[in-house]
Structures are given as structure tokens and as C-alpha cells.
């Protein structure tokens, strides 16, 4: 088995609309991969196909060397969209039901997982009384219950506060250290940036990027730079930038502007030549969100 | 096979933690036999030794309805007569719990990841519904006998009765309910709204049978329109008129309704003939147990194929 997860020309059509269109990628065992895309891009549909929940219109998914759906899915843990539970059962009983359904869960594993996600105290309460954060943590505990070798996580930090997001991130890091392959989707890019080494980016059902995080950042930087400028005459600065066909954004006495890579080097000298006295010029480094947005806007195709 | 066993264990765990299971058991195991015993006591106290009891028939009536055998038999018969029948209520509630809630709480995605093979999942759920129904029926028979035993302390009743025959009818009724379970699962699975699915389970068979009866009563199968001319040409008339013999509800309750004739005869202390036409529907006239068994097996096959086929192809959105 070379790949923990593989998608080959995975396509899902609803009538004439392709929710996922010819998506192919491979993920090695132990890799942690971020799956980026705006809402409706096709992330959840792709994950559902890999989890055997929906049938592809074309192409196929493989998990742990076996075609999906198949028995290898018993080694998969998932959190797909909103975490769902039987509300009339307690958190512990929901885990117990999942453990019985799967089979082969060792005694003590439920308590260990409740402790792992810091849910021991609330485990006896019915799930209908849980907050969103508690449900997310319980869903992670359930996904890990049968020691999966692959985790498919769809927006695991959705609806969480910053503390909850940090906790989920720490939990996922701990899981990844044990060699579990993780494919985690999110539209909260900061959450992904701190967790993964590789990015798959999907837009309108098509894969637009597949590569290391650094390459995504570098590629986005190659497309455009963002400058923050200060001048003695801010109005003049804005006017000159607009005349140059740029779109300045003013914030107090600072002006931010995005410039194509080929024009970036000459920006300041062009402004000086136009008579604008620049007192400060700073090039901002991209974070993942900027890079991703730039990538999507440029409508880039697979690398 | 292991997957099937896991599903059964998990679903039993869930059924045991649902309050409605105990409400159903309470109604069938407690309320029904207590009411029957109370009626037996009323009959005995109010009519025993009066002019109504000149032929000594009241003791026989009390024996038929409030003895251990009598109550156990009414616990089989009674649920087949209220509308919607108690059997259908039990089946529909089990379908809502085992199938409807998976959609209602968006749990299919969890269930089908923990147990990705779909056939064992559905087979396990059907088996648990049948198991729960079997336990409820067995409990109803047992509690009926126990309430009857209590009655022997203050009523002129004994343990006499055809217990083997009754056990056979219980077993048959339970087996016949497989078609009802598959039908209920199919309806609740097909309808996105659980309540609509349950209402369909209650009323769709009756509605279809009622429409047939209405058509037969108003238009009949005489060649008065083009459709009937077609029926005649194809020699379908006789078969169409025999359709009531294949109605779902008439056949489903055949085992539970079969002892009613004996019961009516026993409580008919006046000694007159029972008007068969008037009671035909009540007694399930014209439908033998072997015929009903064949019809229900047919329904079970059709509903089972549809249910498993639809479930296997279902996309969990």
C-alpha cells in the first residue's frame, strides 16, 4: 500500500452541475493534509465520497489500498459537517453505541477518549444539553474511538471560539504524532496553516493547487505583492496610485495597495518620479489566507 | 456476519434506552390485561347469579375473557382491532427509532462509517425491530397469563385453554409482522419527514384498500367504461374482484383475528346464530392462515427487496 488515501478522477454530478469535477490526489501514510476551499467548493462532497457515504458519478476513491466503499473504511474516523449524535443519549452512551456498532473497541478506550478531549465531567449529560464546542470535541473522541489509521475531518473547528480551535488543533497534532493520516478541510485558513504541511485547494469542484504550504505561499507571492505606504501627501499618493490603475485602500494616513509582481520593484521609484514624497514603504508577507485568495482570484490550475 | 452482530448489539442498546419502548411495554403488559381483568370482575359481580345468568353462561364468559388463557388471548387479539392497530403503532415507532432517527439526527453518516457494509446494517436493524416486537408480544402473553392467574384468586376462572394453539398463533402473528416492519422501514426511509413516514405507515394500506372498495362499490367491474372493457377483454374481472383476499391489512392480522370467532361464539350466551355477514370483516372471513401466510410472505419479499435496494443506493447527504 503506497497511499493512505487516493482519489482518481473523482467526480460527483447533480444533474448538470458538477459538485466535484475530476479531482485526483494521493496522500501518503502519516501525512497531514489541509483541504482548502470556500463554502460550496466541493470539499464536503469529496470527503463524503472518500468515506463511502455517496457514490461518485465517475472516478474512484481508495482508502488504505482498497476501493471505497469497502472494509478498509473500518479503519477510518470521520467528522463530516455538523457533529451529529442521538440527543437523548449521554455523551458516554453515544460513544458506547458507536463502539458497539463498530466492534473491536477495547475496554477503557471510551474513558480514554473522553479524557483526551477533556469531556469526562460532561460525559454523563445528555447530548442535547451540549454546547457546540462540546459536540465538536465529542465528535473527535468518537472519530478516534477505534484507533483509525485515517482521519477525514470536515471543518472540525467550525463554530468554536479561539480556545476551542486551539484545543482541537492540539488534539489533532497529538493524533498526527501517532502516525495517523489526516485529511482536514476548513475554510478557516489560520487553523489549517498551523497544522498541515501540504495543501489541497479546491474551487468550484476542481483542484486548483496540490503541494506544500510553502509552495502555495511562494506561488501566491509570485502573482502579486501587497505594499503599505505612507506619504507626506496621502491624497496625492492615492490619486497617483489610481491613475496607475491600482486600487489603493486607505486606513488613516496609511495606504495599502496590491501590485503585480512584475510592477512591484518599480512601484516606489514610479511614485517618487510622479512627485509623491514617500516616507514609509513596507511589503507585507502573505499569510495562508492572502495566498489562497490570490490563488483563487488568479483562477490558477493544478500545479 | 460480525458486522450484523455488531449492529444488533448497538441497536438493542439504543432501543433499551428509549422511553417509548417502556411506554409500549407498559400499555401492552400492564394496562391491557388490567383492564380485561377489571371487565371480567365487573361482568362477574354485576351479572353472575342474575337473570342474565340463568343458563350459567356468565362463568363461561368470565373464563373466556379473564382467565389466564383468556387474557393472554385478548393480548393477541386486542392489538389487531384498534385503529391504527397497536401492532402497527409498535412497528411504526420502531421504524421511527431505528430508521427515522438516523435521518432526523443526521446519524447515517456516523452509522455507515462505523459499519460501512450496508446490508448488515439494514439486516441488523430489521432483526432488532423483530426482536423488540417478539419480546413485547412474549411479554404480553406472559403478563396476560400472570394477570389471569391473579384473577383466579377472586374469579371463577382456571388455567384451562388451548395454550399450544395460542402459542402458535402468537408465533405466526409475529412472523406476519415482518412484512409490516419492512413496509414501515421502507416508508420511513423514503420520506424525509419522519412524521409523514409514520402517518403513511398507519394509513396508506387502508387508504389504498378503501379506494379499491369505493371504486368497486360505485363503478364496479362491469363494462361501463373503457377501463373496465379492457379488464373484461383481459379476463381480469374475476382477479380484480378477488383483490380483497390479498389486502395487506386483512392478511396481516389473520392469526390475531382467527380466535375471535371462538371468542364471540363463547360469549354469545343467548345461543343464537352469529350473523356471519355482519361480523365477516371483524372475524377476517374468507382468509385462511395458509393463504394469509403466502400473501404476507409475498409482501415481505417485495418490501424487503425495495428497502435493501434503495438503502444500498442511497447517497448520505
pLDDT digits (tens, 9 = 90+) for A244-263: 888 888 888 889 888 876 77
- pLDDT for B180 beyond 60: yes
The residue segments making up the domain with residue B248 are 2-312
Rounded to the nearest 5°, which phi and psi values hold at A185? -100, 150
CA–CA distance, B181 with B115 (Å, rounded to integer) = 22
Q: What is the pLDDT of residue B208?
A: 85
3-state secondary structure A195-234: CCCEEEEEECCEEEEEEEHHHHHHHHHHHEEEEEEEECCH
Span A53-68, average pLDDT? 94
Mean pLDDT computed over every residue of chain B: 87
Q: What is the pLDDT of residue A301?
A: 44
- pLDDT for B220 beyond 70: no
Span A18-36, average pLDDT? 92
In this prediction, what percent of chain A has a pLDDT beyond 70?
Answer: 89
**Closest residue of chain B to A76, computed from CA coordinates:** B113
In this prediction, what percent of chain A has a pLDDT beyond 90?
Answer: 43
Mean pLDDT computed over every residue of chain A: 86
pLDDT in tens, B26-76: 999 999 999 999 999 998 888 877 776 667 678 888 988 899 999 999 999
Span A57-72, average pLDDT? 91
B56: helix, coil or strand? coil
CA–CA distance, B107 with A270 (Å, rounded to integer) = 61
CA–CA distance, A14 with A42 (Å, rounded to integer) = 12
Write out chain A residues lying below 8 Å of B7, CB-based: 101
Work out the minimum CA distance from B10 to partner chain A, whole angstroms: 5
> Per the CB < 8 Å rule, is B109 touching A78?
yes
Q: Which of A17-21, A124-128, A283-287, B42-46 has the lowest mean pLDDT?
A: A283-287
Work out the minimum CA distance from A72 to partner chain B, whole angstroms: 9
pLDDT in tens, B149-171: 999 999 989 999 999 999 999 99
The residue among B230 and A24 whose pLDDT is bigger is: A24
Q: What is the pLDDT of residue A1?
A: 59
Confidence of residue B259 (pLDDT cuts 50, 70, 90): confident
Substitution target in B2, B114, B123, B317 with the highest count of A β-carbons within 10 Å is: B114
**Residues A68, A52 contacting (CB under 8 angstroms):** yes
Q: What is the pLDDT of residue A297?
A: 65
Q: What is the pLDDT of residue A132?
A: 87
Q: What is the pLDDT of residue A222?
A: 66
Q: Which of A97-106, B64-73, B81-90, B237-246 has the lowest mean pLDDT?
A: B237-246
Confidence of residue B263 (pLDDT cuts 50, 70, 90): confident
Rounded to the nearest 5°, which phi and psi values hold at A184? -120, 125
Span A269-298, average pLDDT? 76
Report the number of distinct structural domains present in chain B. Answer: 1
CA–CA distance, A212 with B170 (Å, rounded to integer) = 67
Q: Any residues with CB less than 8 A from the CB of B202 and at least 6 apart, and which?
A: B84, B88, B89, B92
**Nearest residue to A295 via CA among A203, A191, A214:** A203
Work out the minimum CA distance from A1 to partner chain B, whole angstroms: 21
CA B106 to chain centre: 30
The residue among B223 and B306 whose pLDDT is bigger is: B306
Confidence of residue A188 (pLDDT cuts 50, 70, 90): low
Q: What is the pLDDT of residue A298?
A: 62
For chain A, where are the E strands, in sequence order? 5-14, 17-27, 32-36, 58-63, 66-67, 76-79, 150-154, 181-186, 198-203, 206-212, 224-231, 249-251, 254-260, 278-284
- pLDDT for A302 beyond 50: no
In this prediction, what percent of chain B has a pLDDT beyond 90?
Answer: 58
Write out chain A residues lying below 8 Å of B14, CB-based: 86, 89, 97
Q: What is the pLDDT of residue A183?
A: 94
Substitution target in A94, A101, A153 with the highest count of B β-carbons within 10 Å is: A101
Tell me whether residue B30 is exposed, middle or buried, using C-beta atoms within 10 angstroms of its C-beta: 0 to 12, 13 to 18, 19 or more. Answer: middle
- pLDDT for A118 beyond 50: yes
- pLDDT for A76 beyond 90: yes
Span A105-115, average pLDDT? 94
Highest mean pLDDT: which range of A219-223, A291-295, B53-57, B296-300: B296-300
**Nearest residue to B108 via CA among A105, A54, A144:** A54
Give a yes or no: residue B317 inside a domain: no
CA–CA distance, B241 with B231 (Å, rounded to integer) = 11
- pLDDT for B221 beyond 80: no
Q: What is the pLDDT of residue B231?
A: 67
Give the sheet arrangement for strand A278-284, strand by strand: A249-251, A254-260, A224-231, A278-284
Give a yes or no: residue B274 inside a domain: yes
Give a yes or no: residue B108 inside a domain: yes
What ipTM was reported for this prediction? 0.83
- pLDDT for A300 beyond 50: no
Q: What is the pLDDT of residue A89?
A: 96
Q: What is the pLDDT of residue A179?
A: 87
Which helix (H) or strand (E) covers residue A170, if one does?
helix A162-177
Which residues of chain A are at the B interface, by a Cβ-Cβ cutoff of 8 Å?
48, 51-55, 69-71, 73-74, 76-78, 80-82, 84-89, 93, 96-98, 100-103, 142, 146
DSSP-assigned beta bridge partners for residue A27: A5
pTM of the full structure: 0.83
Confidence of residue B279 (pLDDT cuts 50, 70, 90): low
- pLDDT for A57 beyond 80: yes
> Per the CB < 8 Å rule, is A55 touching B313?
yes
Write out chain A residues lying below 8 Å of B97, CB-based: none
Backbone dihedral region for residue A282 (phi beyond 0: left; psi -120 to 50: alpha; all else: beta): beta
A181: helix, coil or strand? strand
- pLDDT for B278 beyond 70: no
Span B239-256, average pLDDT? 85
- pLDDT for B284 beyond 60: no
Domains of chain A, start order:
5-204 (3.40.50.300), 220-297 (3.30.70.980)
The residue among B2 and B80 whose pLDDT is bigger is: B80
Q: What is the DSSP letter of A285?
A: P
Amino acid at each position: 500500500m503506497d497511499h493512505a488515501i487516493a482519489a482518481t478522477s473523482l467526480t460527483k454530478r447533480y444533474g448538470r452541475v458538477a459538485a466535484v469535477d475530476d479531482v485526483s490526489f494521493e496522500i501518503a501514510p502519516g501525512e497531514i493534509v489541509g483541504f482548502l476551499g470556500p463554502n460550496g467548493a466541493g470539499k464536503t462532497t469529496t470527503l463524503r465520497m472518500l468515506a463511502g457515504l455517496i457514490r461518485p458519478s465517475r472516478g474512484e476513491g481508495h482508502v488504505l489500498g482498497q476501493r471505497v466503499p469497502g472494509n478498509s473504511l473500518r479503519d477510518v474516523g470521520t467528522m463530516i459537517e455538523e457533529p451529529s449524535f442521538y440527543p437523548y443519549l449521554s455523551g458516554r452512551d453515544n460513544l458506547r453505541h458507536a463502539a458497539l456498532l463498530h466492534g473491536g473497541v477495547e475496554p477503557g478506550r471510551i474513558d480514554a477518549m473522553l479524557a483526551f478531549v477533556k469531556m469526562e465531567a460532561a460525559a454523563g449529560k445528555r447530548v442535547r444539553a451540549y454546547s457546540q464546542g462540546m459536540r465538536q470535541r465529542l465528535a473527535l473522541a468518537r472519530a478516534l474511538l477505534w484507533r483509525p489509521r485515517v482521519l477525514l475531518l470536515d471543518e472540525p473547528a467550525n463554530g468554536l471560539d479561539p480556545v476551542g480551535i486551539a484545543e482541537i488543533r492540539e488534539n489533532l497534532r497529538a493524533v498526527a504524532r501517532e502516525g495517523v493520516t489526516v485529511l482536514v478541510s476548513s475554510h478557516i485558513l489560520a487553523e489549517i496553516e498551523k497544522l498541515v504541511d501540504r495543501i489541497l485547494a479546491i474551487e468550484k469542484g476542481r483542484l486548483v493547487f496540490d503541494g506544500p504550504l510553502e509552495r502555495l505561499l511562494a506561488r501566491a507571492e509570485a502573482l502579486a505583492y501587497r505594499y503599505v505606504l505612507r506619504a507626506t501627501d496621502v491624497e496625492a499618493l492615492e490619486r497617483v496610485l489610481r491613475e496607475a490603475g491600482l486600487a489603493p485602500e486607505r486606513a488613516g494616513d496609511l495606504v495599502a495597495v496590491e501590485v503585480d509582481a512584475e510592477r512591484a520593484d518599480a512601484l516606489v521609484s514610479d511614485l517618487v518620479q510622479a512627485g509623491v514624497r514617500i516616507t514609509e514603504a513596507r511589503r507585507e508577507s502573505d499569510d495562508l489566507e492572502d495566498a489562497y485568495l490570490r490563488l483563487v482570484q488568479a483562477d490558477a490550475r493544478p500545479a | 456476519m460480525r458486522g450484523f452482530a455488531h449492529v444488533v448489539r448497538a441497536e438493542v442498546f439504543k432501543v433499551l434506552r428509549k422511553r417509548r419502548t417502556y411506554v409500549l411495554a407498559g400499555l401492552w403488559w400492564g394496562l391491557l390485561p388490567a383492564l380485561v381483568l377489571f371487565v371480567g370482575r365487573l361482568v362477574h359481580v354485576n351479572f353472575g347469579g342474575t337473570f342474565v345468568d340463568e343458563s350459567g353462561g356468565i362463568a363461561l364468559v368470565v373464563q373466556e375473557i379473564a382467565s389466564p388463557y383468556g387474557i393472554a388471548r385478548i393480548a393477541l387479539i386486542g392489538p389487531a382491532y384498534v385503529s391504527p392497530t397497536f401492532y402497527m403503532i409498535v412497528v411504526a415507532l420502531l421504524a421511527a427509532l431505528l430508521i427515522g432517527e438516523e435521518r432526523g439526527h443526521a446519524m447515517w453518516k456516523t452509522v455507515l462509517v462505523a459499519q460501512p457494509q450496508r446490508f448488515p446494517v439494514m439486516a441488523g436493524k430489521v432483526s432488532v425491530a423483530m426482536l423488540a416486537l417478539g419480546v413485547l408480544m412474549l411479554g404480553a402473553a406472559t403478563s396476560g397469563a400472570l394477570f389471569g392467574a391473579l384473577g383466579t384468586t377472586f374469579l371463577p376462572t382456571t388455567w384451562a385453554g388451548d395454550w399450544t394453539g395460542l402459542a402458535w398463533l402468537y408465533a405466526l402473528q409475529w412472523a406476519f409482522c415482518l412484512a409490516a416492519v419492512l413496509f414501515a422501514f421502507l416508508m420511513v426511509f423514503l420520506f424525509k419527514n419522519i412524521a409523514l413516514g409514520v402517518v403513511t405507515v398507519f394509513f396508506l394500506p387502508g387508504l389504498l384498500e378503501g379506494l379499491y372498495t369505493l371504486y368497486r362499490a360505485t363503478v364496479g367491474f362491469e363494462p361501463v367504461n373503457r377501463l373496465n372493457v379492457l379488464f373484461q377483454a383481459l379476463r381480469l374481472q374475476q382477479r380484480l374482484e378477488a383483490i380483497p383476499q390479498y389486502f395487506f391489512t386483512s392478511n396481516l392480522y389473520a392469526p390475531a383475528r382467527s380466535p375471535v370467532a371462538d371468542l364471540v361464539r363463547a360469549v354469545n350466551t343467548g345461543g343464537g346464530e352469529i350473523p356471519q355477514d355482519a361480523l365477516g370483516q371483524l372475524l377476517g372471513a374468507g382468509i385462511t392462515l395458509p393463504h394469509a401466510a403466502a400473501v404476507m410472505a409475498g409482501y415481505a419479499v417485495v418490501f424487503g427487496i425495495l428497502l435493501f435496494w434503495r438503502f444500498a443506493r442511497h447517497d448520505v447527504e
